[in-house]
Chain A
Amino acid sequence: MKLTPKQATLLVLAALIALTPFFFPSGYYYRVGALIFVNGLAVTGIVILTGYAGQVSLGHAGFAGIGAYACALAPVHLGLHPALAAVLGAILSGCMAWLVGRPILRLKGYYLAVATLGFGILVSMVLNNERWLTRGPDGIDVPDLGLRGLLKGWGLDLSNGEFWYFFSGLCLLVGAWLALNLYDSPTGRALRALHGSEIAARVVGVDVARAKLQAFVISAVYASFSGSLLALQNKFVTPDVAGFMHSIEMVTMAVLGGVGSVLGAIFGAGILTLLPQALTVFAEYEQLLLGLVMMLVMIFLREGLLPSILRKIRGTGE
Chain B
Amino acid sequence: MSALLSIEGLGITFGGLKAVHDVGFSVREGEIVSVIGPNGAGKTTLFNMISGVYQPGAGRVSLSGEDVTGMRPDLLARRGLSRTFQNLQIFQSMTVLENAIAGYHLRESGSVLADLLGLPASRRRALTAREGARALLARVGLDRAAEREAGNLCYGALKRLEIARALALNPKVLLLDEPAAGCNAVETEEIDHLIAEVAASGVAILLVEHDMKMVMRISNHIVVLDHGEKIAEGDPATVSRDPAVIAAYLGTEADHADG
A interface with B by C-beta (< 8 Å): 177-178, 181-182, 184-190, 192-193, 195-197, 199-208, 214, 218, 260
Contact = CB atoms under 8 A, between A and B. Distances in A.
Given A203-B77, A203-B83, 9 more contacts: A181-B117, A185-B118, A185-B123, A189-B105, A190-B105, A204-B82, A204-B106, A218-B112, A260-B93
A178 B93 contact: no
Contacts of A187: 109, 112, 115-116
Contacts of A193: 91, 94, 102, 105
B112 to A, nearest CB: 5
B105 A185 contact: no
B105 A205 contact: yes
Which interface class (under 10, 10 to 19, 20 to 34, 35 or more) fits B?
A: 35 or more
Given A181-B118, A185-B122, A185-B126, A202 B94 contact: no
A125 B89 CA distance: 43
B116 A189 contact: no
A178 to B, nearest CB: 5
B169 A182 contact: no
Interface of B: 51-53, 72-74, 77-78, 82-83, 85, 89-94, 98, 101-103, 105-106, 108-110, 112, 115-118, 122-123, 125-126, 129, 165-166, 168-169
B98 A207 contact: no
B74 A192 contact: no
Contact of B102 (A182, A185, A204, A208): A204
A192 B101 CA distance: 12
A207 B52 CA distance: 13
Contacts of A192: 91, 93-94, 98
B165 A186 contact: no
Nearest to A196: B91
11 contacts: A186-B126, A193-B105, A200-B85, A200-B102, A203-B77, A203-B89, A203-B166, A204-B82, A204-B165, A204-B168, A204-B169
Contacts of B92: 196
Nearest to A192: B94
A214 B78 CA distance: 20
10 nearest A-B residue pairs (beta carbon):
A196-B91, A185-B115, A205-B77, A200-B89, A181-B118, A202-B73, A205-B106, A186-B109, A187-B115, A197-B89
Nearest to A210: B74
Contacts of A208: 74
A201 B82 CA distance: 11
Contacts of A195: 93
Given A181-B116, A203-B82, A218-B116, A186 B169 contact: no
Contacts of A197: 89-91
A231 to B, nearest CB: 24
Contacts of B105: 186, 189-190, 193, 204-206
A138 B94 CA distance: 48
Contacts of B106: 204-205
A193 B91 CA distance: 6
Contacts of A178: 116-117
Nearest to B101: A189
Given A192-B94, A193-B94, A205-B169, A214 B112 contact: yes
A208 B75 CA distance: 11
B138 to A, nearest CB: 20
B79 to A, nearest CB: 10
Nearest to B113: A187
Nearest to B84: A203
A202 B105 CA distance: 10
B54 to A, nearest CB: 11
Contact of B53 (A188, A199, A206, A218): A199
Nearest to A193: B102
B107 to A, nearest CB: 9
B259 to A, nearest CB: 38
A241 B114 CA distance: 31
